[in-house]
Chain A
């Protein structure tokens, strides 16, 4: 069965929902971040499949959008992990359920 647009979109949707489950349910802050990375990747896959199968504004637009998403994802990962390490230094935990105070 030759993969068409629907197949790629389905894989993207399943991965997005898996990432969302991870981001919503994990208690470790790094686990939450891993879920967010999977969600961003699933969106990239969806955009690239639209670009490949000629839906929307042409292939160049889709690929350029993916380049920007990868850039923003890298910046997000760097800042978020630095935040996690910084919180760990102050509180000795990165369990997101225990981080419920604005003052340290």
Chain B
């Protein structure tokens, strides 16, 4: 991992992602917060590509930017009378203090540990990842598909309106 392009991309991505995450925390309007969240996800996809995980970068764009962001937007738009004020916080200073302490501890661990970094940077192709998912990790893979089905059915059950339930001839 060297070269000017990688370094430049890393610092630009760091700036964009951290500013966008701060925007989610600080913006007063909930819709603006969702847009900042999308920008954070895009920055994350950039990091994934930078870390040679090109398939996961694409998956990040498809799933987070494409699906989850739209879900969050829908949830905001489906709750119109709930207030769009994202600035409302409770116990903000204790939360900030707690997270600052946690960050200090994690940063101390990161700098203090002697990481066994291998000289040869490791890369995985999408084909290799797919093979591993269907051979070594086939059981968690199937469990994940069951989980997705359950989540789909469950969320449809949760948001059904009362009239539909009354019409249901059970």
Contacts and interface: CB of A to CB of B under 8 A. Distances in A.
B121 A64 contact: no
A84 B95 CA distance: 23
B interface: dominant SS:
helix
A83 B96 contact: no
Interface residues of B, number: 89
Interface in B78-117: 78-79, 81-83, 85-86, 88-92, 95-96, 98-100, 102-103, 106-107, 110-111, 115-117
Contacts of B152: 78
Contacts, number: 243
Contacts of A49: 51
6 contacts: A8-B47, A17-B106, A51-B53, A54-B120, A74-B151, A78-B71
Given A28-B83, A68-B140, A74-B63, 8 more contacts: A17-B100, A24-B95, A34-B24, A37-B37, A45-B44, A60-B136, A67-B56, A78-B151
Interface of A: 1-11, 13-22, 24-28, 30-31, 33-35, 37-38, 41, 44-45, 48-49, 51-55, 58-60, 63-64, 66-68, 70-79, 81-86, 88-89, 92-95, 97
